[in-house]
């Protein structure tokens, strides 16, 4: 097997991490590299484990996405889909196991197991808060499986499916750009991209991500912006928000990615080998609200409890 190399790439999430806190970006994309190996240096291993931490909202989103992904893959393959009742039952059972495993700290031995931010940092969370997370997952799933959209997806021929939750790339100026489309279909000469949202509020604008999807669709399926339809389905609200990505949006996002890449590359000793400068070159954010959500808060703040409390 070829040796893994830490290649410089771009994604919406990587850009968000860099803009939020360059030091967090350093930990996430450089200092934790190789930490999947149990024999890695102690700090590298620790940072890799911390990188896997997720908030309750992230946990909810992950469980919902995984469940819908499995369903759509079964539809795509012509496999019978379980009843909504059974799907909810299995998913909630998995969440209970996730919770027990995380509370026991099993992620320190198995970093790919569920690792909840609150458990790692000892944040007091009421039982009702955790029960509400389970209720949100159940509500999202029941809304999805009762929706007209799901009924439509079930009626599609198998050759209409293009992708379901596949981690994919396209290149811009030689830089690999990562995307993951929740669902992509071809219908009546159009390509339709669907994105699942598990948050409580509706977003007003999400053109960066959708324009990236459009760039990928152009390269992967030769589809022009006029032949692309995109929508976000807000599962808690049971509401679909349609978007039209224009050629202007695509040119804007190209310019944005180029600028973001240049900013990230400015902190590399050698862009060709993706070798970063020393840790101190990556500034810490002054936004304490961002620190309270950061997996690596213990690496930057001496008084972790005060940082998490907002002090």
Q: What is the per-residue DSSP string for 26-61?
A: HIIIIITTTTTSTTS-HHHHHHHHHHT-B-HHHHHH
Domain range for 88: 9-152+288-305
Q: Is residue 282 part of a domain?
A: no
What is the 3-state secondary structure of 102-140?
A: HHCCHHHCCCCCCCEHHHHCCCCCCHHHHHHHHHHHHHH
Residue 233 lies in a domain: yes
Encoded tokens for 33: 């590299």
**Is residue 277, in this structure, part of any structural domain at all?**
no
Residue 293 lies in a domain: yes
- Count of structural domains, the chain: 2
| Backbone torsions φ then ψ of 111, nearest 5 degrees | -60, -20
Instruction: Return the structure tokens found at 306.
Output: 């005060």
Whether 26 and 105 map to the same domain: the answer is yes
In tens, the pLDDT along 92-137 reads: 999 999 999 999 999 999 999 999 999 999 999 999 999 999 999 9
- Determine which helix (DSSP H) or strand (DSSP E) holds 21, and give its type and residue range: none
**Do 18 and 263 contact (CB within 8 A), yes or no?**
yes
**Do 64 and 180 belong together in one domain?**
no
Q: What percent of the chain has pLDDT over 90?
A: 83
Sheet arrangement for strand 239-243: 161-163, 183-187, 190-197, 228-234, 239-243
Mean pLDDT over 293-297 rounds to 92
Asked whether 304 and 282 are in contact (CB, 8 A), the reply is: no
Checking if the pLDDT of 227 tops 80, the result is yes
Pick the residue with more confidence: 202 or 183? 183
Query: Does the residue 31 lie in any domain?
Result: yes
pLDDT over 50 (residue 2): yes
Do 133 and 91 share a domain, yes or no?
yes
Q: Is residue 204 predicted with pLDDT exceeding 50? A: no
**pLDDT (mean) for 235-241:** 94
d(CA 99, CA 130): 9
Q: Which two tokens stand for residue 115?
A: 């690792």
Q: What is the mean pLDDT of the chain?
A: 92
DSSP secondary structure letters along 63-114: HHHHHHHHHHHHHHHTPPPPPHHHHHHHHHHHHHHHHHHHHTTGGGT-TTS-
For the chain, the C-alpha Rg in angstroms (whole number) is 21
pLDDT band of residue 201 (cuts 50, 70, 90) is low
Could you tell me if 170 and 250 lie in one domain? yes
- Are both 18 and 137 inside the same structural domain? yes
Residue 5: how many other CB atoms lie within 10 Å: 9
Instruction: Based on the fold, state whether residues 172 and 253 are members of the same structural domain.
Output: yes
> What is the C-alpha to C-alpha distance for residues 138 and 64, in angstroms, rounded to an integer?
9
Q: Please give the backbone phi and psi of residue 198, each rounded to the nearest 5 degrees, phi first.
A: -110, 5
pLDDT number for residue 311: 44
Q: Give pLDDT, residue 165.
A: 94
Q: Is 18 helix (H, G, I), strand (E, B) or coil?
A: helix
The CATH number given to whatever domain includes residue 177 is 3.90.320.10
Residues 111 and 236 in one domain: no
Q: Are residues 69 and 33 in the same domain?
A: yes
Residues of the chain above pLDDT 70, percent: 94
Q: Is residue 270 part of a domain?
A: no
Query: Nearest to residue 192, comparing CAs of 160, 222, 147, 234?
Result: 160
Q: Are strands 190-197 and 228-234 parallel, antiparallel or unpaired?
A: parallel
| Pair (247, 213) in one structural domain | yes
Q: What is the mean pLDDT of residues 31-35?
A: 97
Q: Judge if 67 and 186 occupy the same domain.
A: no
Listed as own residue / partner, the contacts of 28-31 with beta carbons closer than 8 Å and 24 or more positions apart are 28/295, 28/296, 30/6, 30/276, 31/279
**Structure-token pair, residue 31:** 């200092």
Q: In whole angstroms, what is the distance from residue 307 CA to residue 250 CA?
A: 39
């Amino acid at each position: 097997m070829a040796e893994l190399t830490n290649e410089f790439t771009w994604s919406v999430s990587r850009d968000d991490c860099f803009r939020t806190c360059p030091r967090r970006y350093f930990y996430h994309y450089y200092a934790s590299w190789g930490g999947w190996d149990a024999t890695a240096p102690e700090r590298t291993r620790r940072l890799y484990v911390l990188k896997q931490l997720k908030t309750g909202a992230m946990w909810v989103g992950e469980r919902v996405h995984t469940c819908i992904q499995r369903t759509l893959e079964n539809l795509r393959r012509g496999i019978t889909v379980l009843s909504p009742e059974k799907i909810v039952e299995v998913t909630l059972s998995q969440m209970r196991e996730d919770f027990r495993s995380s509370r026991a700290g099993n992620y320190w031995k198995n970093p790919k197991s569920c690792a909840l931010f609150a458990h790692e940092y000892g944040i007091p969370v009421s039982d009702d808060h955790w029960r509400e997370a389970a209720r949100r997952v159940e509500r999202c799933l029941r809304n999805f499986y009762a929706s007209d959209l799901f009924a439509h997806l079930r009626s599609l021929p198998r050759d209409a499916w293009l992708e379901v939750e596949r981690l994919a790339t396209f290149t811009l100026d030689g830089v690999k750009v990562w995307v993951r489309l929740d669902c992509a279909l071809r219908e009546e000469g159009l390509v339709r991209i669907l994105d699942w949202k598990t948050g409580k509020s509706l977003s007003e604008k999400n053109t960066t991500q959708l324009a990236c999807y459009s760039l990928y669709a152009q390269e992967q399926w030769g589809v022009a912006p006029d032949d692309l339809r995109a929508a976000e389905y807000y599962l808690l609200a049971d509401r679909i928000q349609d978007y039209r990505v224009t050629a202007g949006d695509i040119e804007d996002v190209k310019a944005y990615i180029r600028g973001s890449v240049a900013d990230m590359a400015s902190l590399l000793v050698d862009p060709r080998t993706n070798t970063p400068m020393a840790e101190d070159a990556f500034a810490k954010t002054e936004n304490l609200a961002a620190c309270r959500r950061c997996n690596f808060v213990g690496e930057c703040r001496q008084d972790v409890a005060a940082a998490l409390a907002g002090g």
